[in-house]
């Protein structure tokens, strides 16, 4: 069983069109509405792969009710704290050429009581002998201090559960001392965390190593089109998976984390699963999560021979 917690979930509306013309009326060829938020996407990807999962999240207003309904329709157990604010709605515009424009709402502000209830819901009701991982994912909403994840990691570790953390900025840095079992930054988040540019794979390895020195037990670093790195006590691995055409990268990193955790959450095989899930996700519309039929494991290459001097694109 893998439990996810998403402190700032969303409804994600995606419009697909040929090309966006700013300042004009644009007509979408297709549109879809999906449950959103990083942990929500991890639960969706896990469910699509046949794993048991529960999504813990704060929900408010009609948008919160719709989000819960959409998740339950997908067979996902929902554990919610009712909040006074409305769950946010995000908008993505995907153009045929692969360009993606996103508008993310700020989201509601949680009160001290709502914050405490969310912590208690995880700690008291959703951490037990049958829970393999707790995935703590996404930005923190207004009202939650940067140390909120650190407190959660410490409390859950004391109960014996493993923690995957996918966040950034002060929330990531504050949680490192609590020794999460794996953190999953992307290239930009790595650079922000260490305060210097990441322009080569060597830079990414060095930055990930610094996060390990600060407390992370493993670092699963997403380098976008340049693949992924896994840096752990047992070793360092680099992997890549070819993608013929990117349709939408919304939720691709979340699908990667789901693949990694679903494959055990450690070692080269888990990295390969992460790459296969991420590559499949970017070829699907909106934030649709891949099923096993969408995966191409044979296309994934994982090696301990790291191409350190390779420059990163973009």
Q: Reply yes or no on whether 254 is catalytic.
A: yes
- Of all residues in the chain, what percent are helix, strand and coil, respectively (each to 5)? 35, 25, 40
User: How many C-beta atoms lie closer than 10 Å to residue 159's C-beta?
Assistant: 14
Instruction: Write the DSSP assignment of 196-263 as a string of letters.
Output: S---BHHHHHHHHHHHHHHT-SEEEEE-GGG-EEEEETTEEEEEE---S--S--TTHHHHHHHHHHHT
In whole angstroms, how far apart are CA 75 and each of 2, 46, 51, 54?
14, 11, 11, 10
φ and ψ of 247, to 5 deg: -95, -40
- In terms of Cβ atoms closer than 10 Å to its own Cβ (0-12, 13-18, 19+), residue 158 is exposed
Of the candidates 91, 178, 107, 92, the residue with the CA atom closest to the CA atom of residue 139 = 107
Which strands make up the sheet holding 100-103, listed edge to edge?
Answer: 30-36, 10-17, 88-95, 100-103
- Joined tokens for residue 173: 């840095």
The answer to whether 255 and 137 are in contact (CB under 8 A) is no
- Joined tokens for residue 155: 């409390």
- Joined tokens for residue 221: 């670093």
Q: Which of 34, 254, 296, 305 is catalytic?
A: 254
Instruction: Write the DSSP assignment of 277-303 as a string of letters.
Output: HHHHHTTSSTTPPPPGGG--GGG-EEE
Going by C-beta distance under 8 Å and a sequence separation of 6 or more, which residues neighbour residue 189? 168, 169, 172
Return the active site residues. Answer: 254
């Amino acid at each position: 069983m893998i439990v996810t917690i998403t402190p700032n979930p969303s409804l994600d509306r995606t419009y697909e069109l040929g090309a966006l013309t700013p300042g004009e009326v644009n007509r979408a060829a297709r549109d879809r509405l999906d449950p959103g938020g990083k942990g929500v996407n991890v639960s969706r990807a896990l469910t699509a792969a046949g794993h048991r999962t529960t999504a813990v999240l704060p929900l408010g207003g009609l948008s919160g009710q719709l989000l819960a309904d959409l998740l339950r329709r997908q067979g996902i157990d929902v554990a919610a704290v009712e909040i006074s604010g409305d769950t946010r709605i995000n908008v993505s515009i995907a153009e045929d050429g692969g360009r993606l424009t996103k508008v993310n709402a700020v989201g509601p502000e949680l009160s001290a009581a709502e914050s405490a209830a969310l912590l208690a819901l995880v700690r008291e009701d959703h951490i037990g002998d049958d829970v393999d991982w707790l995935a703590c994912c996404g930005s923190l909403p207004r009202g939650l201090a940067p140390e909120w994840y650190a407190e959660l990691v410490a409390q859950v570790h004391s109960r014996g559960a493993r923690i995957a953390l996918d966040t950034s900025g002060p929330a990531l840095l504050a949680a490192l001392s609590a020794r999460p079992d794996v953190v999953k930054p992307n290239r930009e988040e790595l650079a922000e965390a260490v305060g210097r540019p990441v322009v080569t794979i060597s830079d990414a390895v060095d930055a990930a190593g610094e996060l390990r020195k600060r407390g992370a037990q493993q670092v699963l670093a997403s380098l976008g089109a340049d693949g992924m790195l896994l840096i752990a006590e047992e070793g360092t691995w680099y992997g890549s998976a070819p993608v013929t055409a990117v349709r939408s990268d919304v939720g691709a990193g979340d699908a990667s984390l789901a693949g990694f955790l679903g494959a055990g959450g450690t070692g080269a095989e888990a990295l390969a699963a992460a790459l296969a899930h991420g590559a499949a996700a970017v070829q699907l519309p909106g934030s649709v999560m891949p099923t096993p039929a969408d995966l191409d494991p044979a296309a994934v290459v994982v090696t301990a021979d790291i191409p350190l001097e390779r420059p990163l694109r973009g």
